[in-house]
Amino acid sequence: MVSFLENTPFRITPISPIHIGNGDEGIDWSTSIADDNYLYILDFLNINLPAHVMDEIRTTSLKCKDEKGLLKLQRIYKNQKNDLIRYAHDKIPLPPKLAERFTDVLGRNTQANNPHNKGGKATINKLNVSRCVFNGKTLTLYIPGSSIKGAIRTAYLSTLAEEKHVKCKKIRKSLDEKKYLDEKGILGGAFDKDPFRLLKVEDTLASQKDLTQVFYLVNKKREETDNDASGVPQYLEAIRPFNYGAFSGSLRLQDGDGTLKPPSLEKIIAAVNKFNISMFKEQKKQLQQLSFVHQKWLEETEKLIEELINKMDKSNKLLPFPLFMLIRLGKLCTAESKTVNGANGEVLREISIGEPRARNKKTSSHGTTFWLAGDYKSNTNLLPMGWAIIELGDTKNEALQDFCSIMAEGYSFASNNAPSYNIPDDYDKATEWLEKLLNSDNSDTKEKFAEPVIKLLKKAQKWPEYYDLVDMLLENYNFGKRQGDIHDLLDNI
C-alpha cells in the first residue's frame, strides 16, 4: 500500500530572470496599452467611458481584422489613456528604455512608407510580449510543480546514467540516423520502474506581489566576434531576480509499494547540485568572455555557490537543514539544462542548430548561443535565463540573503513604485521645477532623475527656449550612465 511521507517545505529565490510561459500567443494589443511605467491589460467588461468613445472603440474593434485596424485602435487608446488605465485588471512593469520604446511605437504607422512594403500597407510594429504562467481566476503568479520536477528529473537521470555507464542508442528514421536517450536502460524499465512517480512537487505560491517585469532578450553567440550579429530579439514577461524567498511550496516522497522505492531526498539534492553546478561553471567560462554579460553577477553567483557548498561536509554527505539546490527553470536557459549527461561526461543529446524549419539543420552536443535578458537594446549587464536557488527546510540562509541585497542594489529594474512627475507646460515654470528637482539631491550625478528630464525634453521640443533648456542641462548636470540616453534623444530630435 502506498503511503505519504512528511512534506518538505521549500523556498525558491530567482537569481536570474525566469520565464515559464502560459501557452498563449502573448499580449493582445487590441485590449492592452502601455505608458511610461507599465503595460496594462484592460478589462473591457467594466470600462465606463463616454458613449461616443465606447462606440468608436467597439466599431473599430469589429473591423480590426488587419494591422490598419489595430493601428487605429491603438491611436484611440492613446488619446484615452488616462481614463483607460483606471480599468486595467492587470499590469506589468516596464524598465525605462522598454517603456520609451513601447510608447513611441504603439499607435504609430512606422512602416507605411517603407519602399519594401508593397502598396504602402500599414504595418504597425506589434510588440509581441510572452506572458508568464499565472492563475487565470486570481491572476496570481506561480511556478508549476511540473517545471521543478522536470528539472530535478533531468539532473537525477544524468547521475543514474553516469553510474550505469549508459550510452545513447541510435534509431534510423528515413535516411538519417538519430540518437535517442535510453531511459529504460537508465531506469531499469519503463514507466512502472520510474521512481519519480513517487515524487510529488506542488505548484509554488508567490510570497510577494509584482514579481515580474517585461525584459528584452537577445540571442548572442557564445564566442564574441567582430561581426557579433544577434538573432531576432524577444520581448517577454519574466520573474525578476534577487527577491529572496519569492516563492514557497513543498515536496513529498511517497513510500513505495515494495517493488519501487523513491529516491532519497539527499540523493536528489546531490544529483541536482552536481548537474547544475557543473553546468554553471562550464558556462561561466564562456560568459566571462562576453563583454555585454553582467560580470559582477558571474562573480557573486560563483561566491554564493561556494558558500552554499561549504554547508556540505568533506565526505560529501549533506549536513542537516537548511539544504539547497542550484536549479535552472523555464524557457531560453540553454538546451544543456534540459538534456541528460552520461558516464565520463559523455553527452547523451543532439541539439539542433539553426532555424527550426531549416532543411539542412546541424546538430551538436552543446548550444552555440545564449539568450540574455536586459533593458531595450542594452549592451551591458545582461543576465542569462533561468537560474534559481531552492532552499529546503525552514532556516533562512544569510549568504543567499546577502547575495540578493548586493545584486539588487546594483541592477536596474522596472520600478513598481515609479514616481509620477507633473511637468509644467511653459518654459519658466518648467525650468524652475527642474532645477528644484535636480538640486534636491547632493549626488555628483543625477542619474536617478534621467526619466523626468527625458520626458521634459520631449515635451519641450516646440518651445522657443528649447535650446536654452538643453544648454542649461548639459552644462550644469551629469546624468551618469543615462547621459548617453539623453544625448541619443537630442540627436534624434
* Closest by Cα among 186, 195, 183 to 149: 195
Decide if pLDDT at 449 tops 50: yes
The alpha carbon of 335 is separated from its chain's Cα centroid by a whole number of angstroms, namely 16
Buried b or exposed e, range 473-492, using 16+ CB within 10 angstroms: beeebebeebbebbeeeeee
- Please state the pTM of the whole predicted model: 0.76
Q: How far apart are CA 454 and CA 103, in angstroms?
A: 13
Task: Determine the Cα–Cα distance for residues 342 and 253; give it in Å rounded to an integer.
Answer: 25
pLDDT of 237: 94
Does the pLDDT at position 385 exceed 50? yes
pLDDT surpasses 50 at 230? yes
pLDDT digits (tens, 9 = 90+) for 275-296: 999 999 999 999 999 888 999 9
C-alpha cell at 22: 502560459
User: Quick one: DSSP state of residue 482?
Assistant: G
Sign of the dihedral defined by the CA atoms of residues 433, 437, 442, 444, in that order: negative
Residue entry with cell 537569481: 15
User: What type of residue sits at position 32?
Assistant: S
Measured distance CA(446)–CA(453) in Å, rounded:
10
Return the C-alpha cell found at 288: 566571462
Find out whether 117 and 123 touch, Cβ atoms under 8 Å. yes
Quote the pLDDT of residue 452: 80
Task: Mention every residue, 6+ apart, whose C-beta is less than 8 A from residue 377.
Answer: 97, 216
Q: Above 80 in pLDDT, residue 177?
A: no
Instruction: Name the least confident of 158-162, 174-178, 227-231.
Output: 174-178
Mean pLDDT of 144-160: 91
Q: For residues 226 and 230, what is the distance between their CA atoms, to the nearest angstrom?
A: 12
Amino acid occupying residue 233: P
First CA to last CA distance, the chain: 74
Across residues 64-90, what is the average pLDDT? 80
Query: Where does the pLDDT of residue 420 fall: very low under 50, low under 70, confident under 90, or very high at 90 and above?
Result: low
Q: Is 41 exposed, middle or buried (0-12, 13-18, 19+ CB in 10 A)?
A: middle
Q: What is the pLDDT of residue 121?
A: 43
Tell me the average pLDDT of the chain. Answer: 78
In degrees and rounded to multiples of 5, residue 435 shows phi and psi of -65, -40
Tell me what pLDDT residue 112 has. 47
